[in-house]
Structure 1
Amino acid sequence: MSDLYERHRAVIPDWVALYYEDPVEITHGEGRYVWDAAGNRYLDFFGGILTTMTAHALPEVTKAVSEQAGRIVHSSTLYLNRPMVELAERVAALSGIPDARVFFTTSGTEANDTALLLATAYRRSNQILAMRNSYHGRSFSAVSITGNRAWSPTGLSPLQTLYVHGGVRTRGPYAALSDAQFTEACVADLEDLLGHTHDVAALIAEPVQGVGGFTSPPDGLYAAFREVLDRHGILWISDEVQTGWGRTGDHFWGWQAHAASGPPDILTFAKGIGNGMSLGGVVARADVMNCIDANSISTFGGSPVTAAAGLANLSYLLEHDLQGNARRVGGLLIERLRAIAAAVPAVREVRGRGLMIGVELVRPGTDEAFPEAATAVLEAAREGGLLIGKGGAHNTSVLRIAPPLSLTVAEAEEGASILERTLRSL
């Protein structure tokens, strides 16, 4: 056990989890690879929880950060901030939301917290609809709308939260239905739920549930929900913290898989846009964003340095068509993993879009979650030189695969080969 681990345990809360029986200290990275303190190299298939979106030590981003830090690091939102305004202009244009306003935060949790503040103030209601198995952050308000029990430590809440079916396609009471029937049943559930309440502020939903194990509804579900929400004046918040910026390959934003409804009223983002820098935010149309009738600022949100990083990272992503790369390389990786899974009885399902892939493990011959197997694969993959994540509603039995979007075909095959060896060892 390392000295650093002992020091960590002495000063960091017990509930701050660490991966691996022998935790790893990552010291540096380049491209899609990272190195630990012992000099071991790993192919990174998790990107610091989907946050290193383009590549480790991307020269364009490190140059932008260094140059901006050499000028000024911080000023707060009380002063004009050119990098923040320029990034806000680009994000607003990309969001699809008309007459959009952008507020920057330091994390996805804070972005979702802000979205809840906006929705409840706009609608003058503290009632929120959320999806079962969802995850929206670790603040007091965010855990109160998180439908994944493993990540919601308290039932105390400033909000009244009602949970809706639909975020998990292949489990639950509607799993055996066709996609059309599944959507119809979930809409009927939503209609019924709204018949028992009043003045709901908003529905918040991840287009693909991240911590929940990369589950998603059939395309068009949230468009069908939107028809119901609009009749009641209820806002739609799309949590794009993990799905945004082209990670799903097919779309730039996850909500676009449900595009018949048009853009959401509020969109939240974080993680990948800063490529490791603490950068998140909220986009909303002007009447919603400007409904706050009290003073508000952000000390650190949209700082000159993080905004400069976001601008450089976004430019690189668009100029190199990393969304297209996620679609092409991710499609190949998913098919490769499905071929591997066909020979592994413990794999229930390989699912995902683009470079956002989940491998769900169960006890062979059953639908029972198999968290011990997920932990074993996580450990064995690390020993083989690959870093992956895990999650899911059923005792973290889903392997989470989300490499930087610049992943090459050769690197995808390298990672798949390591996973093949570890899965077959089960």
Structure 2
Amino acid sequence: MTGKDRQDRQDRQDRWHWLLPSHLVAPDGTARPRRTVRDWAVDTALFLLAALVGLVAADSSAEYSGPTVILLDQLTGAAACCALWLRRRWPAGLATGLSLLSAVAPVAGGALLAALFGVAVRRPFREVAAIGALAVAASTVQVFVRPDPTINAGIAILLGFVLILLVTAWGMLVRSRRQLVEALRERARRAEAEAELRVAQAQRLAREAIAREMHDVLAHRLTLLSVHAGALEFRPDAPPEQIARAAGVIRDSAHEALQDLREIIGVLRAPGDSGDAGDPAGGNRPQPTLATLDTLVAESRDAGMKVVLDSTVDDPAAVPAATGRTVYRIAQEGLTNARKHAPGTEVTVTVRGRPGDGLTVDVHNPAPAGPVPHVPGSGQGLIGLTERAALTGGRLEHGPAPDGGFALHAWLPWPA
């Protein structure tokens, strides 16, 4: 239900409040529960209070009224008090009727005050003001229709006005407090919903980050497959040892690529995963850092690449994990691109830096000597690396080198 629809329903309920049972229909049009134990206790207390006020008024008027008037006052007061049990169903109608009745029957004054309290609690201000004005007018009329010889007329009018004003103000205070409590509850519910939404969004972003990490690894594996399969295709006369080694690399890379692909699908399918740095498939596999760069280089050398690693970082473990992971991914992407587009060339990976000055990473490969077999790629690796470097507060540049090869250069912050 939109806000406009809710307001229209409220306006219709206010217009036809004479017919709507207010204790069964809430302001938004939804059904209210039946009277609770607390409601019964409040209604009973108001009934007894109104009966007490009526008895006092009847006893006071008996001194200057005849037997018939006294009997009618007693019957009227009893009916007015009993009518209070309908104040939750028809608060405005009951208060209006009791206001008119109190103009000729002082014994209905207590019931009128209780009914006015119910109206102030449940109805909007304009309606409360109108019924309150009617009650003040009826109280004024009562002073002249049923005067009390023991009280000055002006004092009686002022006393009636003050009582009606106090009861109405009390009811409006209760109404405001209830609205405040409901607003706070709604705000709490909304805050909980927003917190759940933020958690879900954080989980989704974390899963996407893990999927990107695994995509880089998967691209590395598939590149190995493509390169060695191409080598077998273009050199069918290679020695059996090289063919066996290439077949072993293809087999291992295919197995690892399938495993990585399974993990990516598992991450994207699992909405409840927190998406931490561990393996979402269930292995808690550690993420690569600068300390594992040697392993990456050794793996590339085992695949037949010529790689020179020149690192002056004495303690790779001291590099922040996020920065070290970015260095690893940059080197991995550079080696992957060199394997695709410049097979057989010597790739140089240079890492320099110290705390406070930042880390620089350079990956360079010369131009290939001969024709290069076409290896398809997504073309998104360098774009993703540029974004990754920017997110860590660094920068990445890439392009053709002066010697005709290709170079990657990145600078990443390393706080002191």
Q: TM-score, normalised by structure 1?
A: 0.20
Larger RCO, structures 1/2 (Cα 8 Å, 6+ apart):
1
More helix by share: 2
Determine which structure has more spread, i.e. the larger CA radius of gyration. Answer: 2
TM-score, normalised to structure 2, is: 0.20
Higher strand share: 1
